Amino acid sequence: MTFENSLQFAQSLDEKDPLKTYRDKFHIPKINRKDCIYFTGNSLGLQPKSTRQFVEEELLDWEKLGVEGHFHAKKRPWFHYHKFSKEALGKIVGAKPSEVVSMNSLTTNLHLMMVSFYRPSEKKFKIVMEEGAFPSDQYAVESQVKFHGFNPSEAIIEIKPREGEATLKTDDIVNTIEKNADSIALVLFSGVQYYTGQYFDLKSITAAGHKAGAKVGFDLAHAVGNVLVNLNDSGADFAAWCSYKYLNSGPGGVSGIYVNERHANNPDLPRFAGWWGHNEEERFKMEKGFIPMEGADGWQQSNVNVLSSAAHMASLQIFKEAGIDKLRAKSLQLTGFLEYLIKSDLEDSVQILTPKNTEERGCQLSLVVKKDGKKVFDTLTKEGVIADWREPEVIRVAPVPLYNTFEDVFNFYSIMKKVLIE
């Protein structure tokens, strides 16, 4: 698309936007009695207006039915609650409904996935990941390596950008895997890197990992609901994600996992089992001997967190209506417009770390203000912009297609320009 640097142009794009009505489905926070410019959906998505109804339906069932809500809840019996999100999640991540399930929290799920897919031997024990991965991923990998009796400094291979660059080259990732093929047991990468906003080539990374005889998984925290991850097409063995960022399911919202069907029905695959993953037809016999449910459901451990999952369902319904393909198309335009405006006359003051290639990024642009970055960020906040500061020097901004507008993008640029000039 060819862009223009004007408010009128931004408004004309909003007028033609086929998804423009979805903004009205969300609560927009206010600063100084005006709608803020909310560019932190990559940290916590906004609340759908329907969330209250979904949660209150479960509260009412609990009030009226008590424990009987497990089987007799009016709309969504709690016993089967995990099933109600499968179709929507499958479409969002490019998987079969049987290969996904919402459960637990993200880091817990990463550990559960590594229990099954990080099976080190004396020779093949190393894990490949990107340098500077989100801290929780780093801690999870480090502790898993120690649990198996290995030294993290020897067992973890971190790939860093080339000298003078901010993001990784796919060739460098593939080459590192190939060079260490004899010792790698697992490749565990982010889908979208939280700091730089880089969207990795899942398919190429998976192919390289499998060629090396390793299992391959992804942390999709910043990718799910943002980019087209197409997990089945990628060939990945597993993935995990949170739902409180682009999936708008509330602070600490329920996580989710993907297990490829070539593994999902293997009862001999090691796992840390719990009763909610046991064959539901025999679950209440309360007998010994774990028999996993088919598909990803067999990795469940405990009862579904119904209230959190109700909020999750509210947002997934919106995704089902809007369609992830259409959201991705608008996202490319929003982020492209923001990039265009910054490059039009702010390049002397602002560097964009996120890749220029639209196939290598989602909603997020990571900006480095070359002078007094934190001071600029604080001033932006006072001016009604909710963005995100990440040490040591990045302002993360994410125009989300469900509720952000082209006018939001232009107004952010205008405020930033004013702040930088002053």
Q: What is the CATH number for 407?
A: 3.90.1150.10
Judge if 365 and 316 occupy the same domain: no
The mean predicted confidence, pLDDT, of the chain is 97
Percent of the chain with pLDDT over 70: 100
Judge if 72 and 123 occupy the same domain: yes
* Within a domain: 2: no
Judge if 82 and 24 occupy the same domain: no
Judge if 317 and 328 occupy the same domain: no
Quote the pLDDT of residue 1: 80
Judge if 219 and 118 occupy the same domain: yes
Quote the pLDDT of residue 264: 87
Percent of the chain with pLDDT over 90: 96
Looking at the predicted structure, is the pLDDT value of residue 60 above 80? yes
Judge if 302 and 229 occupy the same domain: yes
Looking at the predicted structure, is the pLDDT value of residue 422 above 80? no
Quote the pLDDT of residue 55: 98
Mean pLDDT over 76-94 rounds to 97
Domain membership of residue 114 as a residue range? 55-321
Quote the pLDDT of residue 111: 98
pLDDT band at 265 (very low <50, low <70, confident <90, very high): confident
Of the three residues 321, 342, 362, the one that is the final residue of a domain is 321
Q: Name the domain count of the chain.
A: 2
Judge if 316 and 363 occupy the same domain: no
Judge if 170 and 73 occupy the same domain: yes
Of the three residues 291, 321, 351, the one that is the final residue of a domain is 321
Judge if 274 and 345 occupy the same domain: no
* Within a domain: 26: yes
Q: Are 201 and 216 in contact (CB under 8 A)?
A: no
pLDDT band at 284 (very low <50, low <70, confident <90, very high): confident
Q: Are 187 and 207 in contact (CB under 8 A)?
A: no
pLDDT band at 72 (very low <50, low <70, confident <90, very high): very high
Of the three residues 289, 321, 353, the one that is the final residue of a domain is 321
Judge if 93 and 124 occupy the same domain: yes
